[in-house]
Amino acid sequence: MIVVAIIGLLAAIAIPNFVKARNTAQSNACINNMRQIDSAIQQWALEAGKKNTDAPDPNEIAKYIKGNKLPTCPAGNVEYVLGATVDANPSVTCPNATDNPPMHKLGNP
Each residue of 70-79: pLDDT tens digit? 999 898 888 8
Q: What is the mean pLDDT of residues 64-71?
A: 93
Three-state DSSP state, 96: coil
What distance in Å separates the CA atoms of residue 51 and residue 74, rounded to the nearest whole number? 31
Tell me the per-residue pLDDT of 20-65, one tens digit each, with 9 for 90 and over. 999 889 889 999 999 999 999 999 999 999 999 999 999 999 999 9
CA 6 to chain centre: 38
Q: How many CB atoms lie within 10 A of CB 72?
A: 14
In this prediction, residue 103 has a pLDDT band, given cuts at 50, 70 and 90, of: confident
Q: Which of 97, 60, 95 is nearest to 81 (CA)?
A: 95
State residue 109's pLDDT score.
47
Residue 76: CB atoms within 10 A of its CB come to 12
